[in-house]
Chain A
């Protein structure tokens, strides 16, 4: 029996999740990076004893506080949605995520709550050394709490270290370390946190550039620029390094996402990287149309990025949809057949259990093991449903990489002229420094769009499509909460920007 899935409901639930995650990610990367910058500033203050550095530290700490206060708990909303909109999924992964998220909840909460209080309210109440220690702990604590959620996301992108329990319909953790140290989880953590460091550095540099343009608080601005530009440059280098690693991991574990983010339909050896391009939106898998209306290619670079070998074969969307025997690529078409068998075996197992046929249940379970990796494909109606939205994935990747290549150059120039002592006379560069603040956010959001849109149609890669992960709710219910969130988050964003702008305008407290 086949039941209708209300796709409109699924799509509203997806839109709601995307909306919440994107708003949440406005606050998070700044917290991750600014916490470290504040710790650097305060360390300099403690070493030098110079009150100017204390004033500077307190100023950036206030902005950190604004961002934290407005952003705090926006992530909890995601967890609400799991239980309400995505109940099948939540049930199935409860065993995997329960542990990491519980550890995060307890550990990070106590770490953060204790040290946050000292950091904000303890200036004249505890020793300088303990205050500094608390600031550092806030930085480590915030980043550590990002670890668990990124591990969870990494697992959804590349499910590992688990076993599917046919009786409980749950994925059960078999090996915690395999989940924690999966290559996808590691690349998520390193890339996402370092991109936060970069974004926060751009934020500090940008605001400081604004002060220099307006000839206000110039000493503070120059000092902030030196520290943030150095941190930003180091972070940008690391972001590019981890981004390269992320692309390699994507190529190995999610080849369809890689093909989509490069608009590669026909797989090839020595595949070129499309540095920039305009996607032909009418293009479909298997047709003869050109995937691009316009493109600039760099020969061999995609093969190098994907397999660390410039001559290697990179499968395209067509190969992954229809299969390519010569290159031993299994296509979605074949996987759908196997997936349908996996689903049938699940049903057989259940029926056998119900009727007390132990031998039949065991046989079905054993047979299921041979098909389980294709389970999710059993839900697809046609092979092309395995293809994510190519345009969005492609543009998100390219926006991230192009902006990501500009940031280190801008930071390097700003640092160079600052050290030379004539930064303020290069007004164009100051404007560019300010422009990099919104661009940093765009880049960072594009990263998540790539990661999440690029893995469609899956909630759990290859095992559970989003259309099966959701709850049996009405569209109206999901639409209502979508609108409520839109209103609340927009209000929060307006509050963030206006309070932040006001505080920046006030500047550091006078002594």
Chain B
């Protein structure tokens, strides 16, 4: 089935782009990469949610 082969190709190319390129280079987990432990992460989020107020 020709269409089957085309679909497998699309699936693999897509998964490659998503996981090997986008996830690695463009979508680092912000809190995981910028902080070393959960305490720091909580402190960062806490600071954000208590000091921010909406601005124009």
Write the residues of chain A forming the contact surface with B, with a CB cutoff of 8 angstroms.
1-5, 7, 62, 65-66, 69-70, 72-73, 76-77, 80-81, 83-85, 87-88, 90-92, 167-170, 343, 346-347, 350, 378-381, 385, 464-465, 467-468, 471-473, 480-481, 484, 488, 492, 495, 499, 502-503
Contact of A66 with B23 at beta-carbon distance under 8 Å, contacts A2-B53, A381-B54 already known: no
Determine chain A's interface SS by DSSP, over half rule: helix
In the complex the two chains form, is A2's CB within 8 Å of B42's CB? no
Q: List 20 A-B contacts (CB under 8 A).
A: A2-B55, A7-B56, A73-B15, A77-B22, A83-B28, A84-B29, A87-B29, A87-B31, A87-B45, A88-B48, A169-B45, A169-B46, A169-B49, A350-B50, A381-B56, A385-B54, A467-B52, A468-B48, A481-B22, A492-B14
* CB closest residue in chain B, given A2: B53
Residue of A92, A495, A502 near B45 (CB, 8 A) is A92
Contact of A91 with B31 at beta-carbon distance under 8 Å, contacts A169-B42, A481-B26, A499-B6 already known: yes
**In the assembled complex, how far is the CB of residue B21 from the closest CB belonging to chain A, in whole angstroms?**
9
In the complex the two chains form, is B42's CB within 8 Å of A170's CB? yes
B-side contacts of A347, CB under 8 Å:
50
B-side contacts of A66, CB under 8 Å:
3, 7
A-side contacts of B32, CB under 8 Å:
83
- In the complex, the number of residue pairs spanning A and B with C-beta atoms less than 8 Å apart equals 117
* CB closest residue in chain A, given B21: A484
Give the complex CA separation of A169 and B31 in angstroms. Answer: 14
Give the complex CA separation of A1 and B42 in angstroms. Answer: 19
In the complex the two chains form, is B30's CB within 8 Å of A84's CB? yes
Closest 5 CB pairs of A and B: A87-B30, A83-B29, A69-B7, A80-B27, A169-B46
Q: Which of B1-56 contact A (CB under 8 A)?
A: 3-4, 6-8, 10-11, 14-15, 17-18, 22-23, 26-32, 38, 41-42, 45-46, 48-56
Residue of A1, A83, A380, A488 near B54 (CB, 8 A) is A380
**In the assembled complex, how far is the CB of residue A253 from the closest CB belonging to chain B, in whole angstroms?**
23
Give the complex CA separation of A378 and B50 in angstroms. Answer: 10
**In the assembled complex, how far is the CB of residue B23 from the closest CB belonging to chain A, in whole angstroms?**
6
